Homo-oligomer: A and B are copies of this chain.
Amino acid sequence: MNTLKVALLGAGNVGSEVARILLEDSEVLASRAGSHLELIGIAVRDTESKRAEHIGHELLTTDAEALVDQADIVIELIGGIEPAGSLVARALRRGSVVVTGNKALLAERGAELFQLARDNGGHLGFEAAVAGAIPILRPINESLSGDRITKVMGIVNGTTNFILDAMDTTGADFGDVLKQAQDLGYAEADPTADIEGYDAAAKAAILAMLSFHADFRIGDVFREGITSITAEDVDAAKDAGFVIKLLAIAERLDNGVAMRVHPTLIPREHPLGAVHGAFNAVFVEADNAGELMFYGQGAGGRPTASAVMGDLVSAVRRLTRGIGAAKDADAAVEVNQSNIKALGIENVLTSYCIGLTVTDRPGVLSRIAAIFADNGVSIEQMRQTRGFAEDDQASILRIITHRGSEQALAKTVESIRELDVVSHVNSVLRVEGN
């Protein structure tokens, strides 16, 4: 049995788990992959760091480029655009197998790197970059290769799902739950990337690339975070049979693909409604297969390491059998096959759940309803309750629309905002899956 040299870049949460598996499970891995996998080195920023200590100093190096140049296989778990991008490109130019979990890099330079892999007979595995341990690359790229994907909706950020799930369960406010999530280690000290939807937007671009074979970027994704979601929004959604989730959505329209990330009401009995805590799930609609969902842990050292190892073993199996990495195109992604355009959110059809504080007097409802009618938006349900406001003439109105164009819906909300009987537009949330 031959031996392949593995270089590991990064020794964080995921990196140290990958190192552990490579060292502890080397026999099982060899029997599955058909080659011995020798961990020849781990590139870190600082060989004296606490983090790297438990792995063994003899493997550590700060010279990542030299390490890449000696390896058959490079596992990139540094994260961020640079120096990760240059190192991945360097390895691919040598025709190496590269496995990465770097969503930021893929959402920014994916198409270029896939092309580099093809041109030089290398291979870029990235299962770990989307939804952690959940196998989604192969199901979309191979199992659905004879079908047509129409829409992908994912809960792809564990932090925001933890927060929204806790708000749903306990009725607590966003701020309190965020603090709790930070104390438990589910949210970072600076939670911006998660709660403002940047992380989910990168994953939306990657999911869209995979599903629709075009070169999409994070900048193509409409993005709205969860910071403005209140306990009242969660409660009102619950009352109407919905739960609020931050969804990453990519859907095929007549003339392109629209990508968006925003808090979304989905029916409680929808499969995505049962995704609790920090779990992730990706819901796929295809012409023939119908509805599919893939569920699992979207983050964490061990789950993400499992996805890295799956990519690694699959790639090595093919190398071992003499299938050049260049021919290993089943697991690769062809993102320049089509000239499918990225479309703005104004092109999608969706429905809105609108919360209003209105003056409680005769004729108000009919004036509001008229605005919906004028914009061609039809109302699915409307519910009026007494407001909590000191003003006892105020009442709270919740309106859920049927599906309509985003443009018509947005225009409707603008017109309603200008009505004198409407004292406040409390919330506007999109609804899916109904």
Chain A residues with CB under 8 Å of chain B are 17, 21, 28-29, 31-33, 127, 133-135, 137-139, 142-148, 269, 271, 273-276, 279, 286-297, 300, 302-303, 305-314, 317-318, 321-323, 327, 329-330, 337
Contacts and interface: CB of A to CB of B under 8 A. Distances in A.
A143 B310 contact: yes
Given A295-B271, A323-B323, A145 B289 contact: no
A309 B144 CA distance: 8
A28 B330 contact: no
A296 B306 contact: no
A276 B269 contact: yes
A317 B191 CA distance: 43
Contacts of A134: 292
6 contacts: A139-B139, A143-B310, A145-B313, A290-B303, A291-B295, A293-B294
A145 B291 contact: no
Most B Cβ at <10 Å: residue of A28, A147, A313:
A147
A303 B289 contact: yes
Contacts of A32: 145-146
Given A138-B143, A146-B308, A321-B327, A289 B297 contact: yes
B288 A314 contact: no
Residue among A139, A144, A329 with max Cβ neighbours from chain B (10 Å): A139
B274 A21 contact: no
Contact of A289 (B133, B146, B318): B133
A147 B310 contact: yes
Contact of A139 (B31, B138, B305): B138
B29 A309 contact: no
A286 B134 CA distance: 12
A302 B302 CA distance: 37
A341 B143 CA distance: 30
A271 B269 contact: no
A145 B310 CA distance: 5
Contacts of A306: 144, 146-147, 286-290
B135 A288 contact: no
A327 B273 CA distance: 42
A367 to B, nearest CB: 40
A100 B293 CA distance: 23
Given A147-B306, A288-B309, A274 B273 contact: yes
Nearest to A337: B31
**Which 6 residue pairs spanning A and B have beta carbons closest together?**
A146-B309, A135-B143, A274-B274, A288-B306, A135-B139, A289-B306
A17 B288 contact: yes
A295 B295 contact: yes
A290 B296 CA distance: 8
A330 B310 contact: no
A277 to B, nearest CB: 10
A303 B323 contact: no
A311 to B, nearest CB: 8
A288 B21 contact: yes
A9 B71 CA distance: 48
A123 B286 CA distance: 26
A137 B302 CA distance: 22
B133 A290 contact: yes
Contacts of A305: 288
A313 B287 CA distance: 16
Nearest to A338: B31
A28 B148 contact: yes
A296 B291 contact: yes
A296 B327 CA distance: 31
B142 A310 contact: yes
Contacts of A327: 321-323
A8 B145 CA distance: 19
Given A143-B310, A310-B145, A314-B142, A133 B29 contact: no
B145 A314 contact: yes
A276 to B, nearest CB: 7
Contact of A143 (B269, B289, B307): B307
Given A135-B139, A271-B295, 15 more contacts: A21-B146, A28-B148, A29-B146, A33-B145, A137-B143, A139-B139, A146-B306, A146-B312, A271-B275, A289-B306, A289-B307, A290-B303, A291-B295, A293-B296, A318-B330
